Each structure stands twice: as C-alpha cells, then as structure tokens.
Amino acid sequence: MTYKTKDMVQIIKTFTNLGLIGHEIAIEADSTQALPTIDIIGLPDTAIKEAKERIRGTFRNCEVSLSKRKFVLNLAPSDIRKVGTSFDVPMALAILLHEVRTHLRHTEILEKSLFFGELGLDGSVKRINGLLPSVLSAKKKGRKTFFIPKDNFFELEYIPDITIYPLKHFRQLVGYFVKGEELEHSTQHKDFGILREGQTFEIDFEQIKGQIFAKRALAIAAAGFHNALMIGAPGSGKTMMSKAMKSILPPLDFSEILEVSQIYSVVGKLNKDLPLITQRPFRQIHHTASKFSIIGWGSQLTPGEVSLAHKGILFFDELTEFWKETLETLRQPLEDRMVNISRVTGTVEYPANFMFIASMNPCRCGFYKDKTKACTCSPMDIKRYQSKISWPLLDRIDIILEVPREDIDTILESQKGENSASLREKVINARKIQQARFTWLSIKANAHMTPKELQELVPLGSGEKDFLLQAANTLNLSGRVLHRTIKLARTIADMNGEEKIWVKHLAEAIQYRSKTMFIDEE
C-alpha cells in the first residue's frame, strides 16, 4: 500500500467504534480547482462536518497556508456511520500532507500508524472518548503505532506491545512530517497491579450483625454470579448487605479489566486517577432512572447502566418504586448478558454480563409479616404494591431472600461476624473450581451455563431427579427456575468443596427461592 497514488490522493488511517467493535477508516484527501472549501463525505455526523472550521483555525495558528483549492475528504468505507471528534487530527494531517506532497519526512511510519484526536481552533489536540476500544480493536488487527491526544495517554499506559505518540498540539505533526523534527514516543507499559494497591471497601460484612442465613446466601450468589432479591422490613440491613457484596467478589483479571474499561472509555469515565477499571463495578440505580438510561440512549448510542455494571453488580434499591416498564427492560439483558440499542442513527451491541442485586419492602408500610410491628396495609394494597414485580422477572432471579429485622441486642453486641476477607476467600476458591470445569468454554461462572452445558457438566443422580420432580410439582416451578435451581445447587456444592450434587444441595437451593413474602403465594 502506498500513500501517493497517480491522482495524488493522500490517505491517513484511523479507527472508529460501533459499540465496542472497531472499524478501520481510511481518510482520503484530494483537491480540485474550485472555490476554496473543505467538503467531508462518507456518512459523517454533525461534529465531523463542523471539523472543517477547526481544521482551518488549526492551520492558521500553525502558520500553514492552504492553497485556494477545494479539498474533499472521504471517510471510507462510506457505508459505516462516523461519529465524534476523533477524526479531526487525521483529517487535518491528510490535508497537510496532500498540500506539501514533496520533501516529507518520516513517511515510512504513515502506513503502519493510526491517528486520533480533536482539534481546538488554536491547534491544540484535545482528549476524546472511546479511544481504548479503538486501540484494542486495532491491535487485534495488527496495528501497533498510535498518534493520540496526550490527555488520553493514561488510558494506554498499561497496554503492552504498542508504540504511543502523545500529541499536545498539531504543530508537533507539522514539525515531524514536514520539518523532520523528532517526536516523543513511548514503547513501555506499566503493570496494572499498581492500580490495585491501597484499594479499600466502604462496608465490610463484619460490620453487619446477625443475618447469618442472608450472608451465606449472598456469598453463594457471589461465588456463582447469581442474581438475588432481598425482601424485608425497613432497617433489616438489605441495602448495607448489598453494598458489602462488592467486597467479596473475586478480582478482575487483566482481560476483564480491559473489557470493562472499554465501556467506561466510551462514556468518558476514565481519567488520570482512574485510568482503568480494576474493581468490579457497583452501579446503584435510583428509582427515578429512565429505561433509556438503564439500557442505553442517545443519538450516539451511549451504553447504559446495564453495560456500566458489566462484570460487576447492578443494584436496584426499593425495587417496587421503579416503573414496571423500566423493570421489564431488564428481562432481555438478564437472560442474554448483552443488550442491543436500536435508534434511528443505528444499532449497536454492548455486553451486559452483570449480577443483579435488588431489595424491596414487602408492602407500602414495610411491615408485612414482621414479627414485632403490625402491618397497616390491606391485602389489596399489598398485592397492588407487589404487582410491579412480574413473575417472568422473578424467574430470572436465582435467590429470593426473606431478610427479617435483627433484635436490638444482636445489633448492639460487640462480637463481630465473619468478615469480607474470609468470605471472599471462599468465593475465590469456588470460582477456581468453576474455572477448571469451564476450561474449554467461554463462561466463568455457574450462573452462565446454558441448558446444554448444564446437562453435560452437571449430571444428577436418580434420587436428585426424583427430589427435583417432586419440588417442581409442589412449588409449580417453571423450566427456567428448575435450571437456575440446579445451577445454584452446583455453586453450593462448589462452596462446600464437593464434586457431586446431592439432595441436600438442591434442598438448600430451593430454600433460597422463598416466595412466602409475596401475597399471591399464600
């Protein structure tokens, strides 16, 4: 591939993303004898079309004179929609090199390099969003040299085997390619382990008095990445235990860190203090949130909360306060662990492999079936209050816990409960067993097994099958709930270090699916 064709068209390469999928874009610059304008074609959005004024301002402030010709910039391939301001630098560079043509320096690097960055009118190179997924996609396709905004350098410091040219001003590119000046670059990468140093958690499970049954269930949920719903009166510790969940989850490995960080790069949530997401996300959603903010929104197809919680926890406090329509949007990502965002501007797919944790009061006053305080709600009020939670949504929740209020004596006692470090060790050991089980598969936790994988990897004995059949008929369990019960039993066996699932594991799994707090089950 050469950069100067017979027609003297200059080509500069960059990358763009549709979701987290990268596409190489060739910016072709040509000029003709006509009124001096800059035309940009190839499905650009408004921000890209506006770049012509930023490019003109940049050339004026870099003391580069453009000939009085019409410049045409084609963003190829033309069937892919281009969004954002990251095309400013490569478009300006394509015009510059097309204009100079002769006596260019360092041209050998053009063929193997990608260029990114937004331009200011003064020629400064500004930070962009979504750089990390672009670079990782390009690296998979063999690209290893990147010219990027210096303010984005922190995102790429931990990526091995790439060369980075950080830019503060477009004048640096003029000096490098036209005048032959040297340009600082980096080929070293940092160890991401330093980002984990000094990490702490706001809430430790030892701070939560009592609730031994709930703690056991939540540790099992963390071990198998199972969804959980806690139901109980106000003050029973539901929210506190939910927030403590992130302290017992196993750490992210490097591939998971990059996977999660790409999503945060797209929405511009990475910075110098948080260059990569090294802790599992914990996204607490307020009940006023719209379904678009949860699933994904905007003309630029921005990922929503279900994707920002990828590999971590999506926490809905006071579940029944959410609009029913909002809750129903969770059914597809809970089942498929990904989400499709379709708008007029296009369709993208984002990962949404999160653990769903929710809490709710059993009724409007909060004291339905409480042992110490009488409920003031009528049966019709309770049924209306609980009706926002549909049975199809409940079917996608593995653990439904009744969380009673602890006695004041238990809360005030000085003896501490089991701490998060101890529970996290048990969770990590159970995950190691699962990783060995799924060596040849792409899944990492029991909750992610398909029915086919469940049948092949989790065989049941005749006694266990008879027990499940009786339980399914007695409790009217759906096929989905039956599969989730077996997965949960598999995790319980892993927590106990047992190779085979026994009836006791299935019995405990069914015990964690109590619906006695729902008035329809009375």
- Which amino acid makes up residue 35? L
Out of 383, 409, 437, pick the residue that ends a domain.
437
Residue with the bigger pLDDT between 521 and 220: it is 220
Q: Which of 142, 123, 139, 121 is nearest to 131 (CA)?
A: 139
Q: Helices in 349-457 by DSSP H: which ranges?
A: 379-386, 391-395, 408-412, 420-437, 451-457
Question: Which H or E element spans position 260?
Answer: helix 254-266
Residue with the bigger pLDDT between 56 and 200: it is 56
Q: What is the mean pLDDT of the chain?
A: 91
Residue 509: inside a domain, yes or no? no
Does residue 520 carry a pLDDT above 70? no
CATH assignment at residue 305: 3.40.50.300
373, 248: one domain: yes
Residue 188: inside a domain, yes or no? no
Q: Which of 288, 208, 274 is nearest to 245 (CA)?
A: 208
Q: Give the residue-averaged pLDDT of 49-67.
A: 92
Q: How many CA atoms lie within 13 A of 39 on its CB side?
A: 13
Residue 479: inside a domain, yes or no? no
Residue 402: inside a domain, yes or no? yes
158, 24: one domain: yes
CA 182 vs. chain centroid, Å, equals 39
Residue 230: inside a domain, yes or no? yes
166, 24: one domain: yes
Residue 387: inside a domain, yes or no? yes
30, 145: one domain: yes
107, 244: one domain: no
Q: Which of 331, 334, 264 is nearest to 303 (CA)?
A: 264
130, 70: one domain: yes
Distance between CA atoms of 331 and 318, rounded to whole angstroms? 18
Q: How many CA atoms lie within 13 A of 434 on its CB side?
A: 32
Number of domains in the chain: 2
Range of the domain at 251: 205-437
Residue 256: inside a domain, yes or no? yes
Non-local CB neighbours of 428 within 8 Å, separated by 6+ positions? 250
Does residue 225 carry a pLDDT above 60? yes
pLDDT one-digit tens code per residue, 267-320: 999 999 889 999 999 999 999 999 999 998 766 788 999 999 999 999 999 999
Tokens of 422: 């101890």
Out of 416, 437, 458, pick the residue that ends a domain.
437
Distance between CA atoms of 388 and 384, rounded to whole angstroms? 8
CATH assignment at residue 30: 3.30.230.10
Does residue 138 carry a pLDDT above 80? yes
Q: Is 399 strand, coil or helix?
A: strand
Does residue 69 carry a pLDDT above 50? yes
Q: What pTM was estimated for this model as a whole?
A: 0.91
Distance between CA atoms of 471 and 306, rounded to whole angstroms? 33
pLDDT one-digit tens code per residue, 170-212: 999 999 999 999 999 999 888 888 888 777 888 999 988 888 9
Residue 511: inside a domain, yes or no? no
Distance between CA atoms of 512 and 214, rounded to whole angstroms? 9
Question: Which H or E element spans position 131?
Answer: helix 131-140
Does residue 4 carry a pLDDT above 50? no
Do 167 and 131 meet the contact criterion of CB atoms below 8 Å apart?
no
Distance between CA atoms of 143 and 135, rounded to whole angstroms? 8
One DSSP character per residue, 34-74 reads SSS-EEEESSB-HHHHTHHHHHHHHHHHTT-PPPSSEEEEE
Packed helices 479-495 and 212-224: angle between N→C axes, nearest 10 degrees: 100
Non-local CB neighbours of 281 within 8 Å, separated by 6+ positions? 260, 308, 309, 310, 311, 312, 313, 354
Q: Is the peptide bond before 77 cis (omega within 30 degrees of 0)?
A: yes
pLDDT of residue 414: 62
- Which amino acid makes up residue 272? K
160, 275: one domain: no
280, 141: one domain: no
Distance between CA atoms of 393 and 334, rounded to whole angstroms? 9
Burial (Cβ within 10 Å: 0-12, 13-18, ≥19) of residue 469: exposed
266, 171: one domain: no
Residue 5: pLDDT band with limits 50, 70, 90: very low
Does residue 416 carry a pLDDT above 80? no
**Per DSSP, which regions of 258-301 are E strands?**
282-285, 296-297
Q: How many CA atoms lie within 13 A of 465 on its CB side?
A: 6
143, 241: one domain: no
- C-alpha angle 313/385/367, rounded to 5°? 85
Q: Do the strands 38-41 and 70-76 form a parallel or antiparallel pair, or are they unpaired? A: parallel
Out of 437, 460, 480, pick the residue that ends a domain.
437
CA 413 vs. chain centroid, Å, equals 40
128, 239: one domain: no
Distance between CA atoms of 233 and 229, rounded to whole angstroms? 13
247, 392: one domain: yes
pLDDT one-digit tens code per residue, 19-47: 898 999 999 999 998 888 999 999 999 99
One DSSP character per residue, 209-231 reads -S-HHHHHHHHHHHHHT--EEEE
